[in-house]
Structure 1
Amino acid sequence: MVRKILVICMILFLAVAVSYNFEWIIGGYPQTKSAIQGNVRDYLMNEQNYKITDIASIDVTYSRKFGDYSAQVILSDEKETKYYYRIDEKVKQSGYNGKTNKHRES
């Protein structure tokens, strides 16, 4: 009887631990990544006046270390540079990585 209770408690503990950390385990929720990708695309097109053809790619990643999402944007005319965007209350550019930075926001 004691063994059965112990097994049930361990299973409950593991179930709670997995469900609480599920986002971390799978590397971010796909629906959240898709929503962020859309928000960044809308920001670039509506607030920064880029055309859809100006955007080569938007890749959203989940940081297990910090527990947040960020977007890496590559623009068609500057494919060797990645621009990083964070989404707090609104979308904002947080940095870039590359030899050039002609689309850097101030």
Structure 2
Amino acid sequence: MAPKENYTPHQMCLAMEAVRKGDSYSAAAEKYGVPRMTLRNKVMGKSPAICHMGPPTILSMNEEAILKEWLFAMAERHCPIGKEQLLDSVQLIIKSANRKNPGRQ
């Protein structure tokens, strides 16, 4: 298996658009720094245009941003948050939104 290359979904979308506008797969892959065969497979529909590795996230991006702000605010006040306190805070967010936590059954 070839080594995993680092590229963003945005780069892949730009490369796909370039191919659809007439660029060759090789030229678009090189220009946007994406694997040529992956680009080809996505354009031809053999693999999904956007795919996420791993399981779906539990928290929304907004919830993660709020949690991140809280962590930084606590660090600025010299009150570091430990792993258990962080996990408890995440659990509170999940419970308040009436969502199931797949990690704790």
Report the TM-score, using the length of structure 1 for normalisation: 0.21
Normalized per residue, the structure richer in helix is: 2
